[in-house]
Structure 1
């Protein structure tokens, strides 16, 4: 799956899911104070979050655990099922090993329990920035890799690439036809074992 958030904007659009409107307002204020680059949209339910994701570009989803139409885990499961590849954080006062385990199984990017007396919002802000930055860099790298591969496939020459262990990492269709091999069958194989005639050349 590919990252579905924004790739180039300095702004980070955070979708915060919590049915406690007072706490949601506090979270928005805290995050904006941490960084003027945060833009926070708050909704109060799983379905409302999914509806917003259809119409808006969101860089990170932060959710509480208890919601009126399910749980934060249910939301994470739906995001995976609908192939949203964006950072997700479970930010909840209901911390437990069971919830942490459920969140991990649901593919959460991070789990931050809210503890009284600790600056949980500072930690949340840092994690959002770190996760979104990493996701954006990965998205750019994947796009460049796809573009490079399309260029190689359009090349008129046969092209292959091997890693430091001389195992085949890439072979384009032109080269595959030339050596009469299925690319899927030889990716990862030793070039010396597949083509012993070139040993010593």
Structure 2
């Protein structure tokens, strides 16, 4: 498997630092972190990312709105987006899927855990959508 190049869009410094630290050290992934959807779009234009992991709530818009602007209904998605949220998933899942979100991960207590669920979702999405040829 390739080492996934991940763009993390998370406005919480603590959560961002924790996700980057654990996914890089424990799961061998490469992450770039930004705080806003606007920063994410700029990085995507200039970088080569395999997947975007985005918090639901951002200072300038929601993660769903960012996914919609990146993928605009493309199937397969231009860039896979994993929504990382502390919100209950059921009420937002259908709309998020329609707007370009590829996968969901509930934050729950991930800040104190080894983030196996998030790492697994990233690997599954990369295997499914990233051309490694």
TM-score computed with the length of structure 1 as normaliser: 0.59
Q: Distance in 2 between matches of 1:31 and 1:93?
A: 19
After TM superposition, the score normalised by the length of structure 2 is 0.86
Q: 1:120 to 1:71 in 2, by over 3 A?
A: farther
**Would you say the 8 A contact 2:55–2:63 is kept in 1?**
yes
Query: Partner of 1:133 in structure 2?
Result: 127
Give secondary structure in 1 for the equivalent of 2:96.
helix
Question: What do you get for the CA RMSD once the two structures are aligned?
Answer: 2.3
Match of 1:78 in 2: 69
- Say how many residue pairs are matched: 130
CA shift in 2, pair 1:69/1:82, >3 Å: farther
CA-CA distance at 1:10 after TM superposition: 2.8
Q: CA deviation at 1:120?
A: 7.3
Contact 1:89 1:112 in 2 (8 A): yes
Gaps of at least 5 residues in structure 2 are: none
Consecutive unaligned residues of structure 1, counting only runs of 5 or more, are: 1-8, 141-201
Whole-angstrom distance in 1 between the partners of 2:27 and 2:128:
17
SS at match of 1:40: strand
Between structure 1 and structure 2, the one with the greater Rg is 1
Q: In the aligned structure 2, how far is the partner of 1:40 from the partner of 1:16?
A: 7
Contact 1:46 1:70 in 2 (8 A): yes
Decide which structure has greater helix share. 1
Structure number with greater CO (CA < 8 Å, separation at least 6) is 2
